[in-house]
Structure 1
């Protein structure tokens, strides 16, 4: 299985518009981060986790000619606002399967009602095949099972996902022990680490490292990174040997 980090930035991306912060003016390409998303590929399958406002650019950069579905972690705009850009895939493939909590599907229907309309559809609108994730139960994607992992983004429920020995979690601030059991034994863990200072709805670096230490994956990658975490190369030097900062367009095997 191949994992492509399509974006590793927080909701504003890096650089932040108009910011004078030094990280926003870094010439290192690893310090330039689109909104967070990953592509999970195996056999002939391509599944995207989250579809943010940079989706079009991410698909073009990585030459993704086909997607078999989109898994949504939650409804915030930096994770959903690119859904209209599934149109080229829809025109070639038909309705694009989406997988999400029923609350998230309700949100998408309200915000992008033209995509979900049954009647009087605009001829150029894409369409989706709705697959609600109910009762936190595993579901099939391609020829594999995806295991939803429930966590809290402050007071908002979010899903992470385990596919084989790969776990992807973002926008996490807390997680129950029963959900952590689903992650045990994983080889590759991706987890959010927003910045150095504490944050009300995201792990900071210290919390992310504590979480990794509790799970003990073979390798961990940090994502959903803001400019306030610091320069990529400098932060990488202080991390444990099995922990790395993810960066846009990084590809790993799992």
Structure 2
């Protein structure tokens, strides 16, 4: 839902620390002058403006929940600037949700105004973007199948409660691991901080970043707690975070 949460007056929602001001999770993967976005959140337009994004080579979707797709219509300026459709990559289930939610994009009917122009690609296995293999990582978000992605040294896993054992080899030798850690209290569709730390202990990445963070976790205090627990290489992610990984 983003932080601050609407109508909430908790100390995190009232925090003056800019790290506690969190838009919905999305990632920009860039190589030279080419750019791929993972998920078009309701905050996509603001996020793209903040990062100075002027071109878009493709969009990759993790799943079809509202907080990961509702910025989809805001890709239109890239269609106009680039004079071409934007390739989108998603599972069969997520493509079905996109087609239902944004029927006007896919129904083929004449439009009096601009609509997003896209070329859909169903993810059935590894694919290539930015000259680099992208490996889908099947996971479970409650009872919903979702995808994470392995791109070189990066593994990105937002919105999940369980990773099947068959997906674990895809997470070996990770440089930068970005993973769901909603809060401390249990949730049926997300990992807790404790569960995320158990996964970090097993996978042993060089660094790990917790994402999809609720307003239960103050940024500075949580990072200090992670240090005390013996995880100096684990921190909460924050808006504007950037790092480089091997392709």
Q: TM-score, normalised by structure 2?
A: 0.95
- Does 1:162 find its partner at 2:131? no
Q: Which residue of 1 aligns with 2:196?
A: 208
Distance in 1 separating the partners of 2:13 and 2:108: 44
Cα deviation 1:170-198 (Å, max 9, x = unaligned): 11100111101111011110001000111
Cα deviation 1:145-177 (Å, max 9, x = unaligned): 100000000100000000001000011100111
Q: Are the aligned partners of 1:91 and 1:126 in contact in 2 as well (CA < 8 Å)?
A: no
Distance in 2 separating the partners of 1:98 and 1:77: 17
1:235 to 218, 222, 238: 222
Q: Which residue of 1 aligns with 2:183?
A: 195
Distance in 1 separating the partners of 2:68 and 2:102: 14
Q: Which has the higher contact order (CA 8 A, sep 6+)?
A: 1
Give the deviation of 1:124 after TM superposition: 1.0
- Does 1:61 find its partner at 2:50? yes
Q: Secondary structure at the match of 2:5?
A: coil
Tell me the matched-pair count. 240
Distance in 1 separating the partners of 2:109 and 2:72: 20
1:32-181 matches, cutoff 5 A:
32-93=21-82, 94-134=84-124, 137-181=125-169
Runs of 4+ in 1 over 6 A off after TM superposition: none
Q: Note the aligned Cα RMSD (angstroms).
A: 0.9
Q: TM-score, normalised by structure 1?
A: 0.92
Note the residue ranges of structure 1 that are not aligned, 5 or more in a row: 1-11
Q: Are the aligned partners of 2:31 and 2:130 in contact in 1 as well (CA < 8 Å)?
A: no
Note the residue ranges of structure 2 that are not aligned, 5 or more in a row: none
